[in-house]
Amino acid sequence: MKTTRFLALPLLALAACAPSLDIAEAPNEQASSAAPDALAENKVSAENLAKWRKDNPSWYAAVEPFQVVGEQGAGIYYVGTEGLGMFFIPTADGHIVIDGGMPDQASMVADAITKLGYDPKDIKILLNSHAHLDHSGGLADLKVMSGAQMIASEGDRSALEGGFYLGSEEEDFLFAPPVKVDRIIADGETISHGGVTMTAHLHPGHSRGCTSWSMDVVQGGKTYDVLVFCSATVAANRLVNPPQYEGIVDDYRSTFDKTRDWKPDVFLANHPGFFGMAKKREKKKAGDPLVFVDDQAFGKFITTIEGWFKDGLRKQTEVATP
């Protein structure tokens, strides 16, 4: 990548990692056959899912899948919803998917892939940005559907395989269907498949194993550095009294130090509001093929998010101080 080198959590707290405000304009501040079994295995209740759906309608609002950048039949495609970003990378040797959405959304991802002209059963690799149910929830069903290899970080392994939110293991509304991790990825390690190379960038904080993914994509004879960013918002995390996990504040600070000077050509994320997808998509449909190319976008985003973190830490510390 180019560089200049409190325990009872409300449902809306997790949704706060995806503000409806377009970050680019922000002020400083049919189900798979495996679905029922997977949901039952981790006691993901229909009642909790119904509340998530009610409180976060954009997470379930359909978006026509589309190619973000790349040549015909290659590059990276959007297969998520209005509020949740999932990504599809086709190859001749089988496909790669990043994130699975909510626990009942594997079929939505599969349908989007089918609309693009591909068979979701040909997914060979599943990648996850982080182990929160709005991004990891559909992975178990996608894995059963395709037999794909699940690749994730060691820091998020326990939460993925246990189907819980680390540090809030008893909060049943944060449960996700457990998914077995087949391969552990380390910071800077690459995955090569079908002519595509993905690089893992670990930066804990938002989750203990938060992982961003980068790849090179060619369009019009030029190569673009694409980043699918994990996250760095506080969201439902406790930073103090007690912390969500030991060392979380230092992890957030290290993440901002590590990412502050990143300058990917194309910045994507698991919540499309972070990269202004809706407006860019309209411009793309109007004839701008490279509207998602902007090597200044990520820097503006991470500066904003760092401010949100500092504000969140201050507020949580004030509440915790007698």
The whole model's pTM is what?
0.90
pLDDT > 70 in the chain, percent: 87
pLDDT for 82-122, tens place per residue?
999 999 999 999 999 999 999 999 999 999 999 999 999 99
pLDDT of residue 2: 58
Percentage above 90 pLDDT, the chain: 85
What is the reported pLDDT for 14? 59
Give the confidence band of 41 by pLDDT, cuts at 50, 70, 90. low
Q: Where are the domains of the chain?
A: 30-320
Mean pLDDT of 221-237: 97
Q: φ, ψ for residue 56 (rounded to 5)?
A: -135, 65
DSSP one-letter code for 91? -
* Whether the predicted pLDDT of 36 surpasses 60: no
Strands (E), 141-208: 149-153, 183-185, 190-193, 196-202
With a cut of 80, say whether residue 314 has pLDDT above it. yes
Q: How would residue 43 be classed by pLDDT, with cut points 50, 70 and 90?
A: confident
- pLDDT, residue 64, reads 97
Higher pLDDT, 37 or 90: 90
* Beta-strand relationship, 196-202 and 211-219: antiparallel
Segment holding 199, helix H or strand E: strand 196-202
Per-residue pLDDT at 164 exceeds 50? yes
Residue 35, pLDDT > 80, answer no
Is domain 30-320 given the CATH code 3.60.15.10 in the classification? yes
